A and B are shown apart, each in its own frame.
Chain A
Amino acid sequence: MSEVVAWFGDPANWQGPTGVPTRLWEHVWISAVSVATAMLVGLPIGLWTGHTGKGANLAMNLANIGRAIPSYAILVMVLPISLALAPRLGYSPNLGLSFIPTFTAMVLLAIPPILVNTHAGLQAVDRDLIEASRAMGLKESQILRRIEVPLSLGVIVGGFRTAVLNVIATATIGAIVSFGGLGRYIIDGRLRGIAGIPELIAGAILVTILAVGVDLVLGILQKRITPRGVRVVTGHPEIIEPAPI
Chain B
Amino acid sequence: MKINRVLAVGVSLLLAAAACGGGGGAKPEVRIGSDNFYESVLMAEIYAQVLENDGYTVTRSFRLGSRQERAPAFTDGQVDLVPEYVGSGLGFYDATLVTGDGATNRELLQEEVADLATVFGITPGEDTNAGVVRTDTATELGLASMSDLAAVQDQLRWGLPPDCDENPLCKGALEEYGITYPPAQRESLAACDVPIAEALNGDAIDFAWLCSTQPAIAQYGFVVLSDDLDLQPADNIAPMVRNDYLETVGDADAFQALLDAASALMTTDELTRLGVEIAVDQREVDEVAMEWLTENGLLTAE
Contacts and interface: CB of A to CB of B under 8 A. Distances in A.
B166 A188 contact: no
A65 interface: no
B162 A177 contact: no
Interface string B198-213: 1101111100000000
B4 interface: no
Given A184-B188, A187-B162, A83 B204 contact: yes
Nearest to B190: A191
A86 B202 contact: yes
Contacts of B161: 191
A39 to B, nearest CB: 29
Interface in B192-227: 193-195, 198-199, 201-205
B101 interface: no
Nearest to B186: A178
Contacts of A163: none
**A-side binding surface: helix, strand, loop or mixed?**
helix
Contacts of A87: 203
Nearest to B68: A193
Contacts of A80: 198, 201-202
A80 B202 CA distance: 7
A193 B167 CA distance: 11
A100 to B, nearest CB: 11
A35 B38 CA distance: 36
Contacts of A83: 198-199, 201-204
B202 A96 contact: yes
Given A87-B203, A97-B204, A178-B187, A79 B68 contact: no
Nearest to B161: A191
A92 to B, nearest CB: 8
A227 interface: no
Interface of B: 68, 159, 161-163, 166, 187-190, 193-195, 198-199, 201-205
